[in-house]
Amino acid sequence: MFELLSRSNCFLRQIAHVCEYVTLFLNVFRNISRRRHAWLDWPVLGAGWKRKEVIRWSGVHDVHYMSPRGHVFRSKLKLVKSNKHTDLRKFHYASGLFLDESDAMKDIECPDGGALVDPSDPSERIGSVTSMPSWNSAPGDFCETPHSSTQTPQRRGSSPPRPSQTFRNPLHPTKASPLGLSPARQSADGPLPNLLGRVPPQTPSPTFTSIQLLAPTRRPDITMRNGSSLPNGSVAVKNLLLHQGRIECSMARSTDCQPRRHVGGCAKCGSDIPGIEAGEETLCPSCRPDKKPKQRIVFRKVGQGRWVLGRTSEVDGMTQQRRKRKYWTMQKKRPSLQDAHDSDTGDCFKDEDDIDDDEQSRNRRHRRACLRCAACLRKDCGKCDFCMDKPKFGGSNKKRQKCRMRQCQNQAMVRESTGTNLNHLTGKHTLVSDWRALFSQWHLLPHQKGRRKGMPSTGWVGPGRRRKASRLKPSRPRSKRKRRRPIWEGDFTDEEGGDDGDKVKEEDLNVKKSYGYNHGKTRNYSLKKDEDGDDLEGAFEAALTSDFSDQDNGDDTFVFENVEPYELSIQGCFTAPNGDVEMVASFQSSLNSRDQTGEPLAVDGTGELSSNGIPQLSDDVVVVRVDVGAPAEDDVTEVDEVTPVITQIFSLAEGTQDIQGSEADLLQLLESLRRTVLPVHWVGRDVPRPMLQLLQCSKRSTMADTTLQIELGFLYQISVQNQPLLLTHPLYEGRPSRLSSVSQVVALLLDLERLAVCQGHPGLAPRPDREPVLCVRAAACQLLVPASQERCDKCRDSLPDA
């Protein structure tokens, strides 16, 4: 009985001991983590540079640098990119120092056995005896190495001098996360490992405990030659410096410290091991345990800053890996119908985290991708603002968001649903009241969100923080604003009463067909009131593109049937005070849009302005000013018409019967076009007079300067760079004389997309060197040629060498 009690006491003491260690671990780690996340001056890169070490919970070690201007670099790649004038090829990112290759290859050691290792050596990590060469050295005891004056060749001129550092306290904890615990070594006849699993050196190293090792000792300061210091030097820093001879060896300050090779032996069998110093303890390959020993103490992270003792498998007997495999195997076996069912039940986004315990999954990052929908499976569009922000597309990585085109179609509808599943498949569970909040939370396309109250009528017209203001034109006094043009019947104006500007009149909804997140269906953009409540005359339509198979079906079926009509307005635009709308985005947007090469397309809505005030647009975007009102007589010169002006009407109608037609008919066509998905980059607009214009607003399109204009009676004409396309052009062959239906319009646009604008010829007049070549067209230029040709026959005949 006494023995039993004694054993119980012993066991309880051990438990208390372990708990004590755990508490120490966590406290020390928090301290270290907090301190290491601070920015430290880093004169190695120059004055004003800072460096920061970040240790993740997983134990991964990251290093960040901050330029004097405050730019943060998280990888060497970015650092090099932004410092093209400096040769950073030999810059060791992790340590923050310039690596001299010749020195780095040498091992340096002191005669007392204080071998130093390559910083890249895995043994440098916690648990390595060799990385702690100076247990027994007093602070401040060092030896000078022969490489102390090494200068790296790539640092010249005014670059900071090489460091001449001194480690005042070589003892430093490195990896203190519980995850970093090394497995306990099982040695039959060796010393018992301590809590860290390290086999303490026999002689002459001092005894040390895990508490000592993890004690929050001051990290070694490194003194540079110029007097500055690199505080809190890491293990990597120290060893790199040692390798380069830029700092002193951590052993006693002896004078005969010379580089030499290591010759050591196995701690178990005694056999020699090349590269290991005699007296140093290690195990030869044959004596090493075959398998990674099982961790005795396992900390499991269950949330931010929360850990539990014990491994998951001990709870349910199944490792995470196995459960992952099982889960994904089950996923693969699921038929598509099962997917639908999952969607119904909101399970379609269940990943391995969900299988884990609930608490854990709550605290982890949620996956926003179902990995199955079209958006999840596609690649970055490379054109949306999020893509443009990415470093791989030349961006500054400020936004750090997933490509807008890749925003999961399913996930975006399920999360944030306040408990109600928004099911896009059935539409049965849609929680209408959540949609607006939902859209605001997800990174949808600008035009996928509605214009909201409070958005200015001029300048940046869109949600969120105001973009850089357009400097294309100064604000025009009210007295000089454009005169209203006669309102064309059917123009979409906002309802009276400014307070409720968000709401759409019911009657307007009949025409203004608003759309929810509609997977690339047509979006309508309607002008709203300006700040004075004046109607901005005219309406603007951007018929966005999508998979062309959807077009012209006249089908306005929403994917989400129960969704409240969702107003969409002009987004991603600059609205000038005079009411002009300047599109700064190419409004091709559908998830399924394809460009001419078949690649999916996306929207560009950055709205950034360059120094000259011109929006910075990608190459395929052109600024289109939509004229929404007739200019005042005294202000005509200020109107900068960018779009082609058609001065002559070419009627293709046979005879003159019904030449006037009906505005109502034209309006009906306009309405249909607004509901229709048009070919890529074709944008419909109405103009002051009762007519409809469709223009190609992508510079990358071969139809960049082409306009299709439909007049009363559905008479139409095509113009290229303000030049009317002659009736003799083959494009007209076999085509109806009137474009009275959407399908006819779309067919014509598609045919136009197969053509290209004639490049003309460089002319015959001699031109001085470096003078830009101005092409001219032949008198009978055909304007549009097959896309495979550069110029028409007439212009080809006019080539100088022709």
Rounded Cα gap, residues 556 and 145, in angstroms: 79
Q: Residue 62 in 3-state DSSP?
A: strand
> Which segment (59-67, 327-335, 469-477, 780-788) binds DNA by CB under 7 A?
59-67
H/E element holding 682?
strand 682-686
Residue 104 has phi, psi (to 5 degrees) of: -65, -25
Which residue is associated with the tokens 């943060």?
A: 72
| Binding of DNA by 452 (CB under 7 A) | yes
Of the pair 233, 264, the CB lying nearest DNA is at 233
Residue 435 has phi, psi (to 5 degrees) of: -65, -40
Residues belonging to the chain: 802
| Binding of DNA by 383 (CB under 7 A) | no
Q: Which of the 8 DSSP states describes residue 375?
A: H
Q: How far is the CB of 585 from DNA (least distance, A)?
A: 13
Q: How far is the CB of 46 from DNA (least distance, A)?
A: 18
Of the pair 96, 724, the CB lying nearest DNA is at 96
| Binding of DNA by 406 (CB under 7 A) | yes
| Binding of DNA by 300 (CB under 7 A) | no
The residues facing 692 across adjacent strands are 686, 710
The residue from 12, 77, 263, 659 that contacts DNA (CB under 7 A) is 77
Rounded Cα gap, residues 67 and 79, in angstroms: 9
| Binding of DNA by 276 (CB under 7 A) | no
| Binding of DNA by 74 (CB under 7 A) | yes
> Which segment (106-114, 241-249, 436-444, 692-700) binds DNA by CB under 7 A?
436-444
Q: How far is the CB of 364 from DNA (least distance, A)?
A: 5
Report CA dihedral (13, 17, 18, 23) to the nearest 10 degrees.
Answer: 140
| Binding of DNA by 788 (CB under 7 A) | no
Please enumerate in sequence order all residues whose Cβ is within 8 A of that of 515, keeping only pairs 6 or more positions apart, or say none.
521, 522, 523, 524, 558, 565, 566, 568
Q: How far is the CB of 554 from DNA (least distance, A)?
A: 31
Q: Which of the 8 DSSP states describes residue 316?
A: H
Of the pair 112, 567, the CB lying nearest DNA is at 567
CA distances from 329 to 316, 324, 333, 343 (A): 19, 8, 6, 18
Of the pair 76, 699, the CB lying nearest DNA is at 76
CA distances from 696 to 352, 425, 587, 621, 656 (A): 47, 34, 11, 10, 30
CB 106 within 8 A of CB 259: yes
The residue from 54, 269, 278, 649 that contacts DNA (CB under 7 A) is 54
Of the pair 84, 392, the CB lying nearest DNA is at 392
Closest CA to 710 of 748, 756, 676: 748
Of the pair 19, 54, the CB lying nearest DNA is at 54
Of the pair 185, 452, the CB lying nearest DNA is at 452
Q: Estimate to the nearest angstrom the gap between the alpha carbon of 797 and the chain centroid.
A: 50
Q: How far is the CB of 30 from DNA (least distance, A)?
A: 12
The residue from 10, 15, 16, 60 that contacts DNA (CB under 7 A) is 60
Closest CA to 442 of 395, 403, 396: 403
Q: How far is the CB of 237 from DNA (least distance, A)?
A: 11
Q: How far is the CB of 403 from DNA (least distance, A)?
A: 6
Of the pair 444, 642, the CB lying nearest DNA is at 444
Q: How far is the CB of 144 from DNA (least distance, A)?
A: 27
- Considering only residues 463-482, where is the footprint of DNA by CB under 7 A? 463-466
Q: How far is the CB of 379 from DNA (least distance, A)?
A: 10
The residue from 78, 185, 311, 729 that contacts DNA (CB under 7 A) is 78
Of the pair 405, 792, the CB lying nearest DNA is at 405
| Binding of DNA by 92 (CB under 7 A) | yes
For 451-562, where are the alpha helices, taking DSSP H only?
Answer: 506-512
CB 528 within 8 A of CB 569: yes
> Which segment (457-465, 624-632, 688-696, 756-764) binds DNA by CB under 7 A?
457-465
Please enumerate in sequence order all residues whose Cβ is within 8 A of that of 290, keeping only pairs 6 or more positions apart, or say none.
none
CB 563 within 8 A of CB 580: no
Of the pair 271, 396, the CB lying nearest DNA is at 396
The residue from 218, 323, 341, 367 that contacts DNA (CB under 7 A) is 367
| Binding of DNA by 650 (CB under 7 A) | no
Of the pair 437, 774, the CB lying nearest DNA is at 437
The residues facing 684 across adjacent strands are 694
Amino acid, res. 25: F
Rounded Cα gap, residues 668 and 103, in angstroms: 80
First to last CA, the chain: 115
Amino acid, res. 267: A
The residue from 13, 89, 366, 767 that contacts DNA (CB under 7 A) is 366
Amino acid, res. 785: V
The residue from 207, 304, 510, 597 that contacts DNA (CB under 7 A) is 304
Of the pair 451, 685, the CB lying nearest DNA is at 451
| Binding of DNA by 75 (CB under 7 A) | yes
Longest dimension (CA), the chain: 120
Rounded Cα gap, residues 761 and 777, in angstroms: 6
| Binding of DNA by 58 (CB under 7 A) | yes
The residue from 368, 447, 528, 761 that contacts DNA (CB under 7 A) is 368
Q: How far is the CB of 443 from DNA (least distance, A)?
A: 7
CB 802 within 8 A of CB 793: no
SS3 sequence of 210-244: HHHHHCCCCCCCEEECCCCEECCCCHHHHHHHHHH
Of the pair 199, 222, the CB lying nearest DNA is at 222
| Binding of DNA by 62 (CB under 7 A) | yes
Q: CA gyration radius for the chain?
A: 36
Per DSSP, the residues of 377-446 read HSPP-S-SHHHHHSGGGT---SS----GGGS-TTHHHHTT-TT----TTT-SS--GGGHHHHHHHTT--G
Q: How far is the CB of 255 from DNA (least distance, A)?
A: 34
Q: How far is the CB of 83 from DNA (least distance, A)?
A: 13
Q: How far is the CB of 327 from DNA (least distance, A)?
A: 12
Q: How far is the CB of 617 from DNA (least distance, A)?
A: 17
> Which segment (395-403, 518-526, 581-589, 790-798) binds DNA by CB under 7 A?
395-403
> Which segment (86-94, 247-255, 487-495, 693-701) binds DNA by CB under 7 A?
86-94
Angle between helices 663-674 and 742-753 (to 10 degrees): 60
For the chain, counts of helices (H) and of strands (E): 18, 24
The residue from 69, 333, 398, 770 that contacts DNA (CB under 7 A) is 398
Q: How far is the CB of 721 from DNA (least distance, A)?
A: 35
Q: How far is the CB of 387 from DNA (least distance, A)?
A: 9
Q: How far is the CB of 618 from DNA (least distance, A)?
A: 17
Binding site residues, DNA, CB under 7 A: 37, 54, 56-58, 60-63, 72, 74-78, 92-94, 304, 364-369, 380, 390-392, 398-403, 406, 436-437, 440, 449, 452, 463-466
